[in-house]
Amino acid sequence: MSADRLAQARAWLRQDPDHETRDELAGLITRAASGDENAVAELDDRFGSRLAFGTAGLRGELGAGSNRMNRVLVAQAAAGFAAYLREKSPDRAPTVVIGYDGRRNSRVFATDSAEIFAGAGLRAVLLPRLLPTPVLAFAVRHLQADAGVMVTASHNPPNDNGYKVYLGGADAGSQIVAPADAEIAAHIEKVADAGDVGALPRSASYETAGEDVVSAYIEATAAVAPAPSSASGLRWVYTAMHGVGWETLSRIVERAGYPQPMVVGEQLSPDATFRTVAFPNPEEPGAMDLAFAKARRVQADFILANDPDADRLAVAIPDPSADGGWRRLTGNEVGLLLGARAARAAQGTPGAALACSLVSSPGLGAIAAHHGLDFHETLTGFKWISRAPGIVFGYEEALGYLVNPGTVRDKDGISAAVAVLGLAAEARDRGVGIADLLDELGETYGHFASGQVSIRVDDVSIIADVMLSLRTLPPTMIGAHPIGAAEDLLNAAPGAPTGDVLRYRLADGARVIVRPSGTEPKLKVYIDAKAESAERARETVAELDTGVRALLAERS
């Protein structure tokens, strides 16, 4: 154990205001100093680097150390962000809004941030209670704030938390992008280098927002799709996935005029342990099993599920061919349904555009072309999608949808739920269901199918090794499908999205994209195909899925 690492850990311990992480770190230091190799390795992991600003801020495992989420790191982040905002507005006091969800330490991190923002001379406004991320994104615009912070780790594992940052003004309430992320990170580094966070000025003079902010969000979101008369017969199931979505959604459903859902009671209230799921993400296997069981019992027409901070939405429908009789729609299927809805409403509007991430279905481009709208393909993440010129709708395949860009410039699982309720009610009026709407999409815009291969790793270096292997020895086939063209987006043309992404265009028109996840230790592969029929498109995706898994096994 190096003396420098021990000194670094002890310096951190002295400034830590949290007795839980302080006790945890003190024990590690004692064991490491006595030569315990596991403790030495643990200290190296915790202090060998800092959590860096990634996808819209910070996200990581709770615990002591610069490479964990904790009160010291959050205090440094808040002070650094405050310095950035003061630098950008030297002649006035910037306004920053802070929200938080139901995860461990979310309220503590939010309160620490509010006190530090106020102590730095900012106008700090703390949302009145734990609320969904979209309410915070809405509040940044609604209050004409300079910035917003949401304390959440979204759908990450239970022991994670995060710090998502938004900018107002010219950024219109979108998440941060370059160069702001690097500039904020530099200010945070200065705070960290200065030493004791206990010396940072704090103030209890921050404001607590009134319920009028939440009510304004409810009114705006209910207006996304007011219920038609046919909505009264809808039978649907809802799960909040142990998160914060239910209270807000139920009020919006009532305001918009839809029947209340039959709920998955075990997952309805906020629970930081997420006790019924291995991962609180509707995309993960097993996460929606309780919802499926409920839907079978009550013979529901469909299921809606939010992730824990309610910025994502999952939709499931009855399917006799699926195990258990229900299947979750892919993010692309829901995205195309909602994209077509938006395109029909925007047709004829000059400059109106649809947007999606480059790993989402090319079907959205076909919808835009059909209705004479502009189309933008962006890097992954709503910090990019929300900035697309003329956007009236945007989505990414990871269950994120932006349906009301005039009020929320981020993915919003609650407004998306209202839009789906509107589609379901209109379909019911015609005597059809959501499955029929998907068939109609294929008949109108072409038959698209998509799939995904996601490899979770314990050692993230494996992901870098696989990406290097694919670049060094580019494949010529994926299964039995020849690769027609390969693109490395690290070397993209000027004006095109750039990033650690490999895109393969196959000779038959299909597409395969490989990239590391921006928020989790995963390598993600996206498969898209278009064919003369829905069945053939699905067959192509299945063939490519097999080929991708074989390729990754060979390169791992």
Catalytic positions: 154
- Is 36 exposed, middle or buried (CB count within 10 Å of its CB: 0-12, 13-18, 19+)? middle
Q: Which residues contact 552 (CB under 8 A, 6 or more apart)?
A: 453, 455, 466, 523, 525
Distance CA 163, CA 68 (A): 12
Partners of 236 in beta bridges: 302
DSSP 508: T
In Å, what is the CA distance from 360 to each residue of 237, 350, 511?
A: 27, 25, 11
Residue 507's φ and ψ, nearest 5 degrees, are -60, -25
SS3 content of the chain, % helix, strand, coil (to 5): 45, 20, 35
**How far is CA 389 from its chain centroid?**
21
In Å, what is the CA distance from 104 to each residue of 43, 62, 74, 78, 376?
A: 22, 9, 14, 18, 37
Question: Angle at Cα 118 formed by Cα 116 and Cα 124, nearest 5°?
Answer: 110
Q: Please state the length of the chain.
A: 556
Can you spell out the DSSP letters for 45-111?
HHHSS----BTTEEEEEBSSSTTSBSHHHHHHHHHHHHHHHHHH-TTS--EEEEEE-SSTTHHHHHH
- How many CA atoms, within 13 angstroms, populate the side-chain half-sphere of residue 337? 27
Rg (CA), the chain: 24
Please name the helix (run of DSSP H) or strand (run of DSSP E) that holds residue 442, with its range, or none. helix 434-445
Distance CA 234, CA 256 (A): 14
Distance CA 217, CA 221 (A): 6
Question: Angle at Cα 30 formed by Cα 20 and Cα 61, nearest 5°?
Answer: 40
Q: Tell me how crowded residue 482 is: count the other CB atoms within 10 A of its CB.
A: 11
Token pair belonging to 447: 């038959």
**How far is CA 418 from its chain centroid?**
19
Token pair belonging to 272: 């930081």
- How many CA atoms, within 13 angstroms, populate the side-chain half-sphere of residue 251? 14
Question: Angle at Cα 402 formed by Cα 309 and Cα 419, nearest 5°?
Answer: 90
- Is 195 exposed, middle or buried (CB count within 10 Å of its CB: 0-12, 13-18, 19+)? exposed
Q: Tell me how crowded residue 247 is: count the other CB atoms within 10 A of its CB.
A: 16
